[in-house]
Every structure is written in structure tokens, then in C-alpha cells.
Structure 1
Amino acid sequence: MKKIGILFGKERSFPEAFIARVNSKKVKGIKAEPVHIEKVIQGEDCGYAVIIDRISQDVPFYRAFLKNAALCGTAVINNPFWWSADEKFFNNCLMTKVDIPVPKTVILPSFELPVDTAHESFSNLSYPLDWGTIFNYIGFPAYMKPFAGGGWKSVYKLTDREDFFDKHKETGELVMMLQEEIIFEEYYRCYCIGGKYVRIMSYEPRNEHALRYVADFKPSAKKIKLMTDIVLKINQYLGYDFNTVELAVRDGIPYAIDFCNPAPDADLKSVGEENFEWVVETAATYAIEKAQAHKEGVDNLTWGEFITSSANKKTLK
């Protein structure tokens, strides 16, 4: 029997529906259940062919458990080694090398010194930074957000340089990105599962959270194809099995705004019934595919094109 596990936190609607959907398909030799952990011993198999990870970004113990499980052959969705290394600023940098439009972005040192450092720790860093060049490059209004993490936490809209300096003081030890504002005509949030299944959803980030999925943009078939290709390319380069990509369309061009969401919102109340049904069915289908393809004791993880090209000394694109 090959077991498919799902590792989750407070959420209930998606994990419970996912387990029920996999088991309702009655695929011979496959069953789904919540991950159950009694002990974690180095180098020992955890008993799962596939695990969908929805919580390890907040629980370091779970991340360590998943890396050990992957080492022993579990196909973890998403790859815990890449997820540990990944962050939003690098993703933007990567997109500039593979011809995906992204907002102009710079990274900033934290306003406060990190713990266990002193001013002498930053002797390689010029200060003040070249604020004139930075502000001319980004322009205002602009957004400031953490270079890693998600959930709309510590995100600021800035009107001018004085506003930037006032708000930057509030960010403490967070390392922030300063990013061009894309004034968009349309906005989409796109699920991508398995690097091949895509669902493009109208989304309005300026609405309150409960109303963001009630937007009703009408993309043409050509635009849907363009956005689908962008979403697939992003996830194939990053190597994510389960992710969302946010696209802001300005002058007909989709800009990738936020595309590092490896535990994306899949709650019934927020995404709505039709999107929820799609993500449950597609996640179940893909997890079963991974379980059927699983080979004991070998690497069953997904590695993105960036990693595989680097390992083989190939250029990107």
C-alpha cells in the first residue's frame, strides 16, 4: 500500500476534502490520510510515498522531518530543499534571465542590525546607499515588502522618498524589497499543480480579503494562452509542484508580481466553490500520479530547471 499524506496546520477544508477525494477514487494500492508523526529518526523511512506540505514554512521541525523523508524516497510536494533556499527577490532575479516580465525591484539591508552583529559587520556595505539611483530606478508610488515570506504581512505602499524613510524605520530586522508599482487593468491569481495543470482566476487584490476572488475579468483566448505559458515557465524553472502565480496586466503585458506561494490559499471560503473543486480534484489527481510513479529509496522530488541547468552547466532559457 502506498500512502499519500498531507501535512497541515489550522486549515481544514482543503486537507479534509483532499483526503476524501483521493480515497473516493479507489485507486488500487493507494490511500490518503493526514500525516502522523510519532518519531523522526535520521535516515529512517517515514512510510509515505507522497506528502503534500502545507505548514512546514511555519514549523522548522516539520521542515526537518520532510527533508529526512525526502532523503528516504518520499515525494514531498513541494521540494523541501528548494523551498528552504528560495525567496522572492531571487525569484525576481531569475525571471529577468528567462524573459518573464517583472516589476523593477531592489533589495534593501534591514533597518536595524541583525542579532549578534555590529556596525563593523557591515564594513562591505556603503551607507548611505545610493538612494538617488534606487529611487529613480523604482519610481513612486512604490511597494515595500519582505524579501521572503508571504500572506500580505509587512507590505507598505509608499508615496515618495520621505514616506519610504518613515516606513522603513518600522521594518526592524526584516530585509525588504522596494518594488515598482504596476498600475494594472486586470489581475489574475493562477494555481499551478504538477508543473502542467493551470487554473487562471480573476482576482482583485485591492478588495478586502473575502472579496478578492469575486473579480470577473474577461481574458481573451490569446491572453489565457500567454498567461498559461508564463505560469508554466515560472513553475518549471522554480520546480514547484503546487504554487500560485499572481499576474498584473499592464498595457496588455502580464507582469509576474508574486509567484513564490508554495502553500497557497486553498480554503473553500476564500477561493470559492468552483476554484476549490478544481484545486481539490487536481491535487488529488497529481498526488496519485506521484504515488504511482514513486520508486522506493531514490530521489522522487521535483527539481526545477534552474537547478538542473546549473548542475549540468547549461545556460538558462
Structure 2
Amino acid sequence: MAESLKVGLIVGREWSMPPALIEEIRSRNAGVIAEFVKLGGTRMNEPVPYRVIVDRISHEVPYYRTYLKNAALQGVKVVNDPFMWTADDKFFGASLAVRMGVASPKTLALPNKDYVPGIVHDESLRNLMYPLDWDWIISYVGLPCVLKDAHGGGWKDVYVVHSKEELLARYNQSGRLTMIVQEFIQWDEYARCMVLGQERVHVMRYDPRTRYYAPEHGFSTELYTRLLEDSLKLCRALGYDMNTCEFAIKDGVPYAIDFMNPAPDMDIYSLGEVNFRWCVQNMADMCIAFAKGEGMTADRYVWRSHAKVTRNV
């Protein structure tokens, strides 16, 4: 009897999705099993016992990100691609969206407020104009506007500001974060779309003020189709196999507000039972397909051929 293919999970504090996913994969009897990855230091080119690894926490545990890059080099399919996740930011994403025909709020990247020790402002920052022209910045995005961390997630360091004074005050508290300032879309409706495997899309009606997911989305067929198509465009371009795309909908137009969520919320108490079950079942479908498929994270990179990377078994 052939040995089962393995899916490994790297997780943080979340408790509801990971064990449910492990059990769902086990119950399929598809020749694939799932388990939690155990790590205690990694040797260079160390073999990896998994065909697929699902990463839920490496954005907060840097060693895991380093391990996952090695796993990709050994031919593992990593969800999500640790190289793209490391490189991504919300300013690049906004610009990318517009170039692909996806509506996005006007977005402007700001110089950092503070820097690492050793940066001498009048010597190390000669390419920067100072002081910043805040009137010029506001003339582009308008007021109110949204100030947020270009690399952030989970609604951390996100501020809706209503005046130049408030914008300056929030910016002055941003430290070393790279902040973007974005046009505020006064939305009529709001959607969060779960996208898995760059193929499966679950459109959810969401209220970011109360963090509430409705059990049914209730969007028109035309709007639903636009949300689905735009979500696929974004995730396929970025190469994310597990992501949520958020849209602020105004006058029937969905504006892509945030789609850099490579470890999306899948907690049962956040999503509700209906949305949670969709995530677990479709995550299992995706993981089993990836485990049995030929694809590798390395497929996207030039170094694959130079390093002679082959599919991990």
C-alpha cells in the first residue's frame, strides 16, 4: 500500500480551523493526511516530509518564513508562497489592481517617520524632500482619508482621519512603519471574498464596523460576478492560494480596499458556521489537489532550473 501524502500545517493561536481541516482531510480517505509541523532548527537543504505546507503565522514568526523558503527549495507547495508574501505591500497592490482594471481608491505611499539607529537625516536621506507637502498629499486622496501600514493586516494601524491635523498626528505616531494614505470610500455595501487555490471564491457580505459576516451575501447577480472575477484577477496575479479580498461598494462599484490577507481569518466565531464549513471543505479540496498535483512553489522562480528543484514526495 502506498504511503500517504502529507500536508503540514504551521499555525498560531487559532484553534477552530486547523483541527477541523486535519479531520476533514483524514475523513476523505484520499491517500492524503494532514498534521501540525514540528520544528526545532533547520539544516541547510534539510529534507521536508510534506508535499504541501499551509502557513498561517509566518508573518509573525520570522523563523517559520525562513523554514518555508527552504521547503520551497526542496520542492514543496507552500500555501502561501513565502517569497511573494515577503515582498508584497498594499501600495504595490493598489497600483497593480488599477493596471488590471480593478477599481481601487487613490493611494499614496509616504516616507517613514522614523528610521533605524545609524540613519543620519541630513546625510542618509538626501533623496527625500522635507518637509512633506501635506496639502499636496491631501489634494490627491481627499478628506476623510485612511492612513494604514503598507505591510499590515488584521486592522492593525488603520486610521480614518478627517483633517490635516489628525493625519499629521497619526503619521507622527507611526514610527518605522511604512504608511500609505488612501482615499476613503463611503461605502453602501461591503464584501469580503475568500479565495482558495486561485479557483474557488466564496463571496461574503461583511460589515467591518461590527466585524459581522452575514450567512448569505444577498448581492445582485451582476455585482456578485464582478466581485468573483475581480477577486480571481487579484489572487492569480499575486499568486496567492489562500487570501481574502475586501471590497467597499459605492454606487454599485466594488473598490478593492484590501487584498493582502495571505493568512485570512477562518475562525468559526468570526465567520459563522456556514462560512466556516465552506472554508474547511474547500481548504481540504485544495490541499488534496495540491498534494496529488505536480505544482511547486518553485515553479514561479528562475532559481528552480538552476538548483534543479523537483517535486517533493
Q: TM-score, normalised by structure 2?
A: 0.91
Show the counterpart of 2:65. Answer: 63
Show the counterpart of 1:129. Answer: 132
Checking the alignment, whether the CA contact within 8 Å between 1:294 and 1:300 is kept in structure 2 is: no
Show the counterpart of 1:240. Answer: 240
Deviating beyond 6 angstroms after TM superposition, the runs of 4 or more aligned structure 1 residues are none
Checking the alignment, whether the CA contact within 8 Å between 2:198 and 2:236 is kept in structure 1 is: yes
SS of the residue 1:203 aligns to = strand
Deviations 1:20-63 (A, max 9, x none): 000000013x2111112244111122110000000111111101
Paired residue type of 2:23? A
Checking the alignment, whether the CA contact within 8 Å between 2:144 and 2:184 is kept in structure 1 is: yes
**Larger deviation, residues 102-111 vs 234-243:** 102-111
Name the CA distance, whole Å, in 2 between partners of 1:39 and 1:126.
Answer: 44
* Alignment map for 1:90-239 (pairs within 5 Å): 90-119=92-121, 120-207=123-210, 209=211, 212-214=212-214, 218-239=218-239
Unaligned runs of 5+ in 2: 302-313
Paired residue type of 1:17? A
Deviations 1:250-307 (A, max 9, x none): 1111000000000000001111000000000000000000000147xxx445749xxx
Deviations 1:183-206 (A, max 9, x none): 111000100000010000000011
Deviations 1:160-179 (A, max 9, x none): 11111122121122111111
Q: How many positions carry a matched residue from both structures?
A: 297
Paired residue type of 1:124? N
Name the CA distance, whole Å, in 2 between partners of 1:147 and 1:100.
Answer: 19
Displacement after TM superposition at 1:96 (Å):
2.0
Name the CA distance, whole Å, in 1 between partners of 2:236 and 2:23.
Answer: 29
SS of the residue 1:248 aligns to = strand
1:281 matched to 2:305? The reply is no
C-alpha change, 1:64 and 1:215, in structure 2 (3 Å) is same
SS of the residue 1:126 aligns to = coil
Name the CA distance, whole Å, in 2 between partners of 1:280 and 1:215.
Answer: 16
Displacement after TM superposition at 1:217 (Å):
5.3
Show the counterpart of 1:5. Answer: 8
Show the counterpart of 2:249. Answer: 249
Checking the alignment, whether the CA contact within 8 Å between 1:45 and 1:73 is kept in structure 2 is: no
Q: TM-score, normalised by structure 1?
A: 0.90
SS of the residue 1:245 aligns to = strand
Paired residue type of 1:75? K
CA RMSD across the alignment: 1.6
Show the counterpart of 1:47. Answer: 49
Checking the alignment, whether the CA contact within 8 Å between 1:182 and 1:250 is kept in structure 2 is: yes
Percentage identity across paired residues of the two chains: 41
Checking the alignment, whether the CA contact within 8 Å between 2:204 and 2:214 is kept in structure 1 is: no
Paired residue type of 1:240? Y
